[in-house]
Amino acid sequence: MPEIRFDVLSAGFAIIAQERSKRPSDYRSAQDGAGELPERDPKCPFCPGNERETPPEVWANRTEGNADSPGWTVRVVPNKFPALISRPHGMAEDDAWRVPPFPDSPEGALYWQAPGVGFHEVVVESPAHNGSLGSYSTGHMKKVLEAIKERCAAMYDSSDISYVQVFKNSGKTAGASLTHPHFQIIALPVMPPAILLEGQRLKDYESKTRRCLMCDLLEREAEKDVRVILRNDRFLVLSPFASRRAYETLIVPAEHVSGFTEMNDALMDDLAATIRQLFGAYESMFSALPYNMVFHGLPSSVKTKRGWPYHAHIHVYPRLNTEAGLELGSGTYINPTSPELATREFAGAMGSWEAT
Ligand SMILES: [Zn+2]
Ligand SMILES: [Zn+2]
Ligand SMILES: [Zn+2]
């Protein structure tokens, strides 16, 4: 019998279609047929040697060479076709760039609009065109995370910015237009609905219980131990109880930390190792998995202003199922792989990966 489950963070629903029990091999047609990729593609703007095809770099980890030349291991550049543009350096906040507060009166709310002020950058993860999160060393993965953390902190320094979204699209189905592995960072002048909703749910829970929803959830999931994919000193990876997408995962620091810009060195080390191990398993289960990865967190300055007890986390959303009318219309997703089955499949993949 199918089950309808409630997702405590997003307040959405998942219909877990238990009887279908789809395993990774059942999703073969949904995997992007990328085939074997070369280590370098002469036509790719993110490959070493083609640095001039991107805007000048704003951050890089280099072993040699000057800015905008080969010799980097991680490189951050502004997006060539940015979704939002930043206020020119030194320009005062005049009307043309000012983002008005979101109106609380009904009349004002009907047609609220603002200039598209913000930042849009690309973190090129590796010089290797065929790189992937499961293939990097932990040390390299940490450099990628450091690039993300430093750029986020710089963006939050701007008074124009309310929220910084870090995400990754991998595979055409997941919206990636370039194959070369990269993250994107978009800094928004508004607080987006997904964060408003999660923040409000954490706050509601806290005002009733005096505890953090995510901390409680981690404790409960660790006790039950049927949806814990990976656990180390500082992180847990879960198959969320109401996973709306097959093989969805949630990466959460075990200790309460509100955002990625707040993470210390030890947390960054363990996050790098956790991502690497999780994606090692994903990559052994799926040959070319289309997925989106989104970071959710708030720096304590923003958190305090709103009074939210935010707890940082990362969602990984594989794109193995088509989102259609039911999903768009009702926020309710049909998931043909129960999170408990997904956890068992991961356990198998994790073992074989560790053994090699
Ligand atoms: Zn490339
Ligand atoms: Zn917490
Ligand atoms: Zn979230």
Q: For residue 211, which ligand has an atom nearest its CA?
A: 2
Rounded Cα gap, residues 1 and 24, in angstroms: 22
Predicted TM-score (pTM) of this structure: 0.94
Q: How far is the CA of 231 from the centre of ligand 2 (A)?
A: 16
Nearest ligand, measured from the Cα of 198: 3
Residue 356's pLDDT is what? 35
- Better pLDDT: 131 or 159: 131
pLDDT at 93: 61
Question: What average pLDDT score do residues 230-236 get?
Answer: 95
Intra-chain end-to-end CA distance of the chain, in Å: 39
Q: Is residue 120 predicted with pLDDT exceeding 80?
A: yes
Mean pLDDT over 121-149 rounds to 97
pLDDT grade for 68, boundaries at 50, 70 and 90: very high
pLDDT at 90: 66
Burial 14-33 (b: 16+ CB within 10 A, else e): bbbbeeeebebeebeebbbe
Choose the weakest-confidence range: 186-200, 253-267, 303-317: 303-317
Asked if 79 contacts 184 with a C-beta cutoff of 8 angstroms, the reply is yes
| Distance of alpha carbon 268 from alpha carbon 255, whole angstroms | 13
Nearest bound ligand to the CA of residue 40: 1
Percentage with pLDDT > 90 across the chain: 77
Cα-to-centroid distance, 251 and ligand 3 (Å): 10
pLDDT of residue 77: 98
| Cα 201 to middle of ligand 1, angstroms | 41
Distance between Cα 159 and ligand 1 center (Å): 34
Give the model confidence (pLDDT) of 19-32 as tens digits: 778 899 888 777 76
Q: Using the predicted structure, report yes or no on whether residue 123 has a pLDDT greater than 60.
A: yes
Nearest to 58 by CA among 180, 175, 187, 173: 187
Q: How far is the CA of 95 from the centre of ligand 1 (A)?
A: 40
Treating both helix axes as pointing N-terminal to C-terminal, what angle do 138-156 and 265-285 enclose, rounded to 10 degrees? 120
Residue 204: how many other CB atoms lie within 10 Å: 11
Task: Tell whether the model's pLDDT for residue 272 goes beyond 90.
Answer: yes
Residue 2 — pLDDT band, cuts 50, 70, 90?
very high
Of the listed ranges 53-67, 95-109, 187-201, 202-216, the least confidently predicted one is 95-109
Higher pLDDT, 273 or 1: 273
CA of 211 to the centre of ligand 2 (A): 8
pLDDT at 107 over 80: no
Q: How far is the CA of 101 from the centre of ligand 2 (A)?
A: 29
67 or 107: which carries more pLDDT confidence?
Answer: 67
- pLDDT beyond 50 at 234: yes
pLDDT exceeds cutoff 80 at 38 = yes
Average pLDDT over residues 182-191: 96
Ligand nearest to the CA of 257: 2
Query: In this structure, what token pair is assigned to residue 138?
Result: 């932990």
Amino acid at 153: A
Task: Note the pLDDT of residue 34.
Answer: 59
What is the C-alpha separation between 270 and 104, in angstroms, rounded?
A: 42
Rounded to the nearest angstrom, the distance between the alpha carbon of 295 and the centre of ligand 3 is 7
Pick from 167-181, 227-241, 262-276, 295-309: least confident: 295-309
Determine the Cα angle at 193 with ends 188 and 196, to 5°.
95
Residues with CB under 5 A from ligand 2 (ion): 212, 214-215, 256, 311
* Count, residues in the chain: 356
Report helix, strand or coil for 113. Answer: coil
**Cα-to-centroid distance, 353 and ligand 3 (Å):** 28
d(CA 249, CA 253): 13
Residue 352 has pLDDT above 80, yes or no: no
For residues 313 and 215, the answer to whether their CB atoms sit within 8 Å is no
- Cβ contacts of 210-219, under 8 Å, gap ≥ 24: 212/256, 212/309, 212/311, 213/8, 213/9, 213/309, 213/311, 214/9, 214/252, 214/256, 214/311, 214/313, 215/256, 215/311, 217/8, 218/252, 218/254
Under the banding of pLDDT at 50, 70 and 90, the label for residue 95 is low
Q: For domain 3-87+113-355, which CATH number applies: 3.40.50.720, 3.40.720.10, 3.30.428.10, 3.40.50.2000?
A: 3.30.428.10
pLDDT computed for residue 91 by the predictor: 67
DSSP, collapsed to helix, strand or coil, labels residue 317 as strand
Say yes or no to pLDDT of 331 above 70.
yes
Give the closest ligand to the alpha carbon of residue 215. 2
Query: Does 12 have pLDDT greater than 60?
Result: yes
Name the closest ligand to CA 10: 3
Taking the CA of 219 as reference, the closest ligand is 2
